[in-house]
A and B are shown apart, each in its own frame.
Chain A
Amino acid sequence: MANVLNVVLSHQPPADVDRLVGYWNSLLDLGNVVIAYGGPRSSFDRIAFNKKIFIGDPNLRTQDHQREAQSYTAVFKEASLWLRNRSDAIHFVTLFEFDHLPLVRDLNARQVKRLQTEGADVLAYHLARVDDTSHPHYLHYAANGEFIRFFRKLSVRDDPSVVLSMFGTGSCWTHEAFDAIGAFIEPFPVYFEIYLPTLAHHLGFRLRDYGDQNTFVSNLGDRSGEVESAKNQGAWTLHPVKTLPASL
């Protein structure tokens, strides 16, 4: 079994973080979790779980995430750095937001299997090609000449105009792809749901999505009441779950 590191991004109060980590570690067969914390420094210090990374980047702490171009670049950089200092080999890295709940013990094995079946370097929820479409995020950056020039300059692809979009949570990366993203500095603020998949694509990595599992990951609302029904329908994970059910 390949080693997988699950990076769980949170800004919740310390007690909630510890409870969430407890759930992750009790569920996964080979629980390998690190918390990437985007809340206040004082709260970070009070998290009892010791595998934790503080993310100080203000570009992570946005209110209107799309318009303020929320960035996960610092999460990739800090997690990459953290991985470099470990003695055991990590082959894959997943990135989960705090409200994205794993539901199956062998989640990482399923992700790795799908990644390998697809021959992919990155798996993402709701992956889509959006260039030349009415997708609002694409249209916003299409108006920015710098965005187009940036990808044209670095792309190894025949068509440098391809733009991809994905959900920010639940992605699974080969260690190489994760590090490659972490090695880049954004030339200007770009919303990460466009920036991450488009950068990975133009660096030459193959991206695929979760197919049927997309149903269980949506961007709005609160699906806390759907945990049992999602499990019964074969969900690997569920998002968004704003309140960790007491039964878990």
Chain B
Amino acid sequence: MRQSLRAIALFCARLVGTRLVDFQTGRDLGKALVIPWRGKVHVIGLEQAVRAVFLPQKRLTYWKQEIGFTTQPPPDFPNQRDERETS
């Protein structure tokens, strides 16, 4: 029952929610309901793991800034075992 209600609520959130786009790549990140509430921004229904960042802007404005979304790059870190063992 609880799972069904949750699924219905998420369906509605995605239905009326906004489509989020990766500001770096233009990739579709899915739909979510974004609600500012009590000093925070609540993101409901988003399936993708995203990072929220203030976007760079060419025009200097004092009255408006934008928060956009992007993702972390795929992990591609070198092996550092050898360095640790020889240091």
A residues near B (Cβ < 8 Å) are: 119-121, 127-135, 138, 156-157, 162, 164, 176, 201, 203-209
B76 surroundings in chain A (CB, below 8 A):
208
Question: How many A-B contacts are there with CB distance less than 8 Å?
Answer: 62
> Which B residues lie within 8 Å of A120 (CB)?
79
Contact, CB under 8 Å: A208 / B75: yes
Is there contact, CB below 8 Å, between A127 and B84?
no
Q: A134-B49, A135-B49 are in contact. Are A129 and B83 (CB under 8 A)?
A: no
Query: Which of these binds chain A: B1-9, B11-19, B54-62, B66-74?
Result: B66-74
Q: Which residue from B46, B72, B78, B80 sits with its C-beta under 8 Å from A128? A: B72
Interface residues on B, range: 20 to 34
B residues near A, CB below 8 A? 43, 46, 48-52, 71-81, 83-84
Q: List 20 A-B contacts (CB under 8 A).
A: A119-B79, A128-B74, A129-B72, A131-B72, A132-B51, A133-B72, A134-B43, A134-B51, A162-B75, A162-B77, A164-B75, A201-B75, A201-B77, A204-B79, A204-B83, A205-B79, A205-B81, A206-B77, A206-B78, A207-B75
